[in-house]
Amino acid sequence: MTYALITGASRGIGQAIATELASRKYNLLLVARSGSALETIAADLSRKQGVSVQTLAIDLATPDAPQQVFDWCQTNGYAVSILVNNAGYGLSGQFEQYLLAENLAMMQVNMTTLVALTQLFLPQLRQQSKAYILNIASSTAYQALPGMSLYAATKVFVLNFSRGLHHELAGSGVSVTCVSPGATDTGFNDRAQINQKARDAAKKITMTPESVAKQSVAGMFAGKAEIITGAINKVGAFAAWLLPKGIVEKTAYKIYKE
């Protein structure tokens, strides 16, 4: 029996990806901080879809969390054929308004934990006849974003790491896909403390987690290296590449600056 392991699975895009994979009859390993939320989701998906769903409540901001996740799988004999590195969050505002510990914790979750889980599980993924890694970046990966400078930089890392690994593993049986969602109706804005001006600007292009999940999973199984969800987000990524960086960055800062 093999499983799809999904981090940040207690809500938002992670929960929607879990639901999408369960509908395709994949057994699930759900990882997030909220144990009670995970248990509720697990019971619901197991009952509705008839799949095995196991949960692990853990804070992925702690440095030893990736090893604990891997050891949990090894101890229980959970073979992973799909690794979904979805966990991540943002901090909005001026870079220096946050403590060093707060910035490093975000970098830990968004980048280091993602890399560690990928490296720990890759040998096992190679043993499967076909395996997948799905990394969640962001539309902010295509430009510097004053007002969310460090968060956007972490997503640039995720995108470039994923694309490079996609080519390194070509022909190995392990496919790597990176998804870059734009504004999505999740709890991201609340945790990141996004200002109302930025929230209002995104209202007309905000996607549902379910829509993002369907596009993400379909692209992963199609073996795509990169997916930008939503037509407007695709246009935005192209515009960020085409237009002078200074103009793009100043425009973005007017939205995110308090």
Domain positions in the chain:
2-256
- Predicted TM-score of the model (pTM): 0.87
The active-site residue out of 155, 203, 214, 254 is: 155
**Can 132 be counted among the known catalytic residues?**
no
pLDDT higher than threshold 80 for residue 6: yes
Catalytic, 151? Answer yes
Could you tell me which residues come within 8 angstroms of residue 45 by beta carbon, excluding any fewer than 6 positions away? 18, 19, 22, 28, 51, 53
Active-site pick, 3, 132, 142, 151: 151
Residue 161: is its pLDDT beyond 70? yes
**Which stretches of the chain are assigned E, i.e. beta strand?**
2-7, 27-32, 53-57, 79-85, 131-136, 174-180, 226-228
The third-level CATH classification (topology) of the domain covering 2-256 is Rossmann fold (3.40.50)
What is the β-pairing status of strands 27-32 and 131-136?
Answer: unpaired
In the predicted model, what is the mean pLDDT of the chain?
A: 88
Distance from C-alpha of 136 to C-alpha of 216, rounded to nearest angstrom: 9
How would DSSP label each residue in 140-163?
Answer: GGGS--TTSHHHHHHHHHHHHHHH
Q: How far apart are CA 126 and CA 2, in angstroms?
A: 13
Contact 5, 29 (CB under 8 A): yes
Residue 234 has pLDDT above 90, yes or no: no
